[in-house]
Amino acid sequence: MNKTKRIENTFDIVRILIAIAVAYLIALIILALISDDPLNVIGLFIAGPFSSKKHIGDIFTRMIPLIFTGLCMCFVYAINKFNLAGEGAVNLGGCLAACVAIALKETSVPGWLCIILCIIVGALAGMLSNAIPAIADQVFHADVCVISLMLNYILLYFTTFILKNVIKDQGAAVTASYKLGSKVKLPKMIPGTTIHIGLLIAIACVVFVAILFYKMPFGYKMRAVGINPTFAKYIGIPVTSTIILAQIIGGSFAGMGGAVQILGMFPRYKWESLTNYGFDGLMIAVLARKNPILVPISAFLIAYIRNGADLVATKTQIPPEFVSIIQGIIIVLVAAEMFLSGWKKRLIFNAARKDLNEKEAKA
């Protein structure tokens, strides 16, 4: 690797870390300014999520859906198509998985097979949701972002329709489906925490996607298309099918995420609004620089910040939504090329001059 490239790569990581630090600092300042007891609140925000076994477990539990949608958005972001249908795919995946679980509840199908079927149905639902904008974009040249935003609402209302008319438990006090049954409940991994086996599934998906991205021809093709579609076309990569396929594969993870979240966390299906996991996934993909291996790390970070905010909210009046400000700042700083670009140029310039001086000294 040449020197400039190396500086650029290290610099990118440093830049993301600085962006996170800046945003975190802003959050701490805000917390300090508005609370009556700043030291305790800040302590709770920073150390709270690590204060007990249960709390640490909660971070990992919270990571699970974020990893799935993060992987989905890695595909979308790697080919530079802002297909946001992953948001609705989570709902659809969760809803259809719940339907399957309810349908199989009374049958003699073994539990593990039920779980696998639910997750497969979730994945198929995600593929379908992501495929619609992808095809509309590539075949008909309609704007993928607009179509996917509209599709999210269609998927939302479709799932609420199913919830209210097909799987609603009339006996329940609120709008909720029938009980999914203990058969499909994802088993807990570590006693005393909420971590369920979904975490293993998520990690397995990360490994699979990492291999797909970096060790398989399709991954190379996909990244080439994302970086420069015209060039990819000239060297003979089927651009259209690669773009569509990448989005469909990505969608399967979002749908799977919805299914795993429902099976792992809830006794009944009752999502009546969009979950926001999809948009969170995009943020995680941005933080991970479209690298699937870094997705769990950025998901961990976001889950940690959110759990800290939730803990602050339980002990004080401060609403947990303030973390979304941090998230916004992080994305803008990471996305803004000009942020710290002067420093990067100086580094590259100095390295180049040093090289030149060495060469002249030799000559």
Partner 1 sequence: MSLMRIGAFLYSTLRLSTPLIFAALSAAICEKAGLFNMAAESMMLWGALIGVMVNGWTGSVWVGFLGACLAGVVVGLLIALATVKGKADLMLAQIAINLASTGGTIFMLFVVTGDKSTSAMTIQSDTLPKIFVPFKKVPIIGPMLNKQNILTYGAILAAVILYIFIKRSKTGVHIRAVGENPNAAESVGISVSKTYFLTWAISGLLGGIGGAFMSMAYTSAFTKNMVAGRGYIGLCASSMVGGNPIGAMFCAIVFGVADAVANQLQLTNAPVDIVMMLPYIVTIVVLIIISVIKMKAHARKIRSKAQKA
Residues that bind partner 1 (CB under 8 A): 34, 82, 132, 136, 140-143, 145-147, 149-151, 153-154, 157-158, 160-161, 164-165, 279, 282-283, 286, 317-319, 321-325, 327-332, 335-339
Contacts of 196 (CB under 8 A, 6+ apart): 61, 64, 186, 187, 188, 189, 264, 265
N- to C-terminal Cα separation, the chain: 24
CA distance 117 to 276: 25
**C-beta closer to partner 1: residue 185 or 290:** 290
**C-beta closer to partner 1: residue 266 or 339:** 339
Cβ at position 73, least distance to partner 1 in Å: 11
Cβ at position 146, least distance to partner 1 in Å: 5
Cβ at position 192, least distance to partner 1 in Å: 31
CA distance 110 to 112: 6
Distance of CA 72 to the CA centre of its chain: 7
**C-beta closer to partner 1: residue 314 or 317:** 317
**C-beta closer to partner 1: residue 32 or 207:** 32
- 85: its two tokens: 């249908």
Distances (CA, A) of 192 to 39, 59, 189, 201, 323: 29, 14, 9, 20, 27
Q: What angle do CA 114, 119, 122 make, to 5 degrees?
A: 125
**C-beta closer to partner 1: residue 18 or 120:** 18
**C-beta closer to partner 1: residue 248 or 330:** 330
Closest CA to 134 of 124, 148, 121, 123: 148
Cβ at position 342, least distance to partner 1 in Å: 13
Cβ at position 96, least distance to partner 1 in Å: 16
